[in-house]
Amino acid sequence: MNVAQGDVWSPVITPFDADLSVDTERLVAHARWLESHGIGLAVFGTNSEANSLSVAEKQALLSALVESGIDPARLMPGTGHCAIADTVTLTRDAVGLGCAGVLMLPPFYYKGVSDEGLYRYYSEVIERVADPRLRLYLYHIPPVAQVPLSLALITRLREAFPEVVVGIKDSGGDWGHTQALIEAFAGDGFAVYAGSERFLLDTLRAGGAGCISATANVNPAAIAALAANWQAADADDRQRELNALRDLFEGYPVIPAMKAATAHFSARPDWRRVRPPLVALDEGHSAELVQSLEAMGFAMPGLVEVSHG
Amino acid sequence: MNVAQGDVWSPVITPFDADLSVDTERLVAHARWLESHGIGLAVFGTNSEANSLSVAEKQALLSALVESGIDPARLMPGTGHCAIADTVTLTRDAVGLGCAGVLMLPPFYYKGVSDEGLYRYYSEVIERVADPRLRLYLYHIPPVAQVPLSLALITRLREAFPEVVVGIKDSGGDWGHTQALIEAFAGDGFAVYAGSERFLLDTLRAGGAGCISATANVNPAAIAALAANWQAADADDRQRELNALRDLFEGYPVIPAMKAATAHFSARPDWRRVRPPLVALDEGHSAELVQSLEAMGFAMPGLVEVSHG
């Protein structure tokens, strides 16, 4: 196994200034806060608005995170783009900086592409990066990318690149599919991550690695705690608590809602900003969300301190 | 009207070398050949594998095309990317080089985005480019991008930027939708292009501008001839001939099939290459396609000469 069982990562949300440029300091502060709660940093994920960032922006941010003292062994940047050259550029940077791995979307413009075409894409990237340190986690997210990664494709990639293709994030939202991935591949150490903490306990009980979850941005401690104590007697109760909070966020567009919560609990209202085509939560919905969160006793302890350090 | 009625453009296919780098000379030759048949050059379209090219590659190619003597007034590059910064970079280049316009995909990673978010995306791009010479053609291609552009969004963009947002390509494949666009917007000069020559005659009769069609890469002269003579007595017969050829190409994955035909009729076998995730037609299907084309009396006159000039 390349990772310990009970591993939680978060696609770190990305803060923007008034001109929509990235606020690097605020990103580093949020990453430090997540790291302090035991969460790995899957920067440049779907919930990071990664595809709304240019490759050059992501290169600069990744360097800044490592230079700020974030442990690269806790970084798993998303590096998959539609163009192989872009994927190779960012993946090489990640490997060179010592990142734990990369989480790689398939090329997501063309739809209905063949397994053969996807195999050629991933193998071309791996051969161009040409670095034995590369650890590649596949990113299966058909509701957004609309390009699924089949079990046959995963099998073929693992056979061709057993030391490189070492895991997958399943953001399909279908537990049956995550279970099938675990049954097919987890036995010999392939790391299967659920794409939501909703499936954390089921994933760990079935032999999966953990989860890579958006809402770990706002609820890191409780998710990490369940991952660390999944064999405890109260695990099902804790899972239900995680689900209740997740339900609340899923009542809104999730990225704007996480940013609104982070804005409130960090006392940094500028966190609410998103890049188009996303739209920030309006004042009314933000206030409503915060009220619901506070009614649940929710807090983001330590975030104010790290955000104003 | 910004364009003459009876206007035909082609998303120019992109030639690759054995290492998958772009063969600029071969691209220029193909563009010249299309130009000589009266076809406008919608380089960097879906059928150009544009999203498999980096922004830097597209910038270099656009400069090379203009430097080679291609008339920029006959260039309409695709410039829409998921990240605003990338869209702005390539759009600025296109405007600076004097291109007739740009064809702009919506940001296509997130699905189910709101009209408000898409409005903010396009208006942010237009405001950042900040050049009165910009002529923006919207690119509606829900089967691929999975992000449709609603009539309400188009109305709002036209109202805000009447001199800039001047047309649309409808690649939805649904004539009823193209007809609705023409009825709603063509009356005051908004240019509605069908995304396939299959709808060329219907589009022109209804008051649309013409078509921007993949298969204009291989069948430019006949498509341009119908566009120029759409009021002739034999127009319906000519439309049926265009459709028969289109049917043949649509019996295969269209991009690989157009490349296979171009490889054969230019006597440049390297034209068959595509970038992953696309897969080139194999030898058997290429031979079968060429045989069918030759049985129809199809040719690409002048292509050998320009390709070996």
b/e sequence A135-152, b meaning 16+ C-beta within 10 Å: bbbbbbbbebbbbebeee
Eight-class DSSP state of A205: H
First to last CA, chain B: 37
Residue B285, classed as helix, strand or coil, is helix
A111–B143 CB contact, under 8 Å = yes
The C-alpha atoms of residue A249 and residue A242 are separated, in whole angstroms, by 11
Q: Give the model confidence (pLDDT) of A236-271 as tens digits.
A: 999 999 999 999 999 999 999 999 999 999 999 999
Task: Determine the pLDDT at residue B6.
Answer: 87
Is B116 in CB contact (< 8 Å) with chain A? Answer: yes
- Answer whether A54 sits within 8 Å of B55, measured CB to CB: yes
User: Which residues of chain B carry a pLDDT beneath 50?
Assistant: 1-2
Q: Is A130 on the interface with B (CB under 8 A)?
A: no
Cα(B170)–Cα(B61) distance, rounded to whole angstroms? 25
Q: Are A279 and B108 a contacting pair at CB < 8 A?
A: no
- Taking only residues 246 to 275 of chain B, the set having a beta carbon closer than 8 angstroms to any beta carbon of chain A reads 275
Supply the pLDDT for residue B4: 66
pTM for the whole thing?
Answer: 0.97
Contact B111 A143 (CB under 8 A): yes
- A120 → closest Cβ in B110, B121, B279: B279
* Residue A143, preceding peptide bond in cis (omega within 30° of 0): no
Beta carbons within 8 Å of B191's beta carbon, 6+ residues apart:
B1, B2, B3, B7, B137, B166, B167, B168, B208, B209
Q: What is the pLDDT of residues B178-215, one digit of tens each?
A: 999 999 999 999 999 999 999 999 999 999 999 999 99
Question: Rounded to whole angstroms, how far apart are CA atoms B110 and B147?
Answer: 8
Pairing of strands B7-10, B210-212: parallel
- How buried is residue B26: exposed, middle or buried, by Cβ count under 10 Å (0-12/13-18/19+)? buried
Count of A-B CB contacts under 8 Å: 110
Query: Which of A14, A52, A105, A156 is most worth mutating to test chain B (most B CB atoms within 10 A of its CB)?
Result: A52
Give B101→chain A minimum CA distance, Å.
22
- Each residue's pLDDT, cut to its tens digit, for chain A (309 residues) gives 345 688 999 999 999 999 999 999 999 999 999 999 999 999 999 999 999 999 999 999 999 999 999 999 999 999 999 999 999 999 999 999 999 999 999 999 999 999 999 999 999 999 999 999 999 999 999 999 999 999 999 999 999 999 999 999 999 999 999 999 999 999 999 999 999 999 999 999 999 999 999 999 999 999 999 999 999 999 999 999 999 999 999 999 999 999 999 999 999 999 999 999 999 999 999 999 999 999 999 999 999 999 987
Q: Report the complex ipTM.
A: 0.97
Model confidence pLDDT, tens digit, residues A1-42 = 345 688 999 999 999 999 999 999 999 999 999 999 999 999
| Angstrom distances, CA of residue B106 to CA of A162, B129, B172 | 38, 16, 14
Asked if residue A227 lies in contact with residue A10, where contact means CB atoms within 8 angstroms, the answer is no
**Interchain contact A84–B (C-beta under 8 A):** yes
Query: Nearest CB to A277: which of B52, B107, B275?
Result: B107
Q: Which of B51, B118, B275 sits opposite A277 (nearest CB)?
A: B118
Partners of A87 on chain B (C-beta within 8 Å) are: none
Minimal CA separation from A123 to chain B, in Å: 10
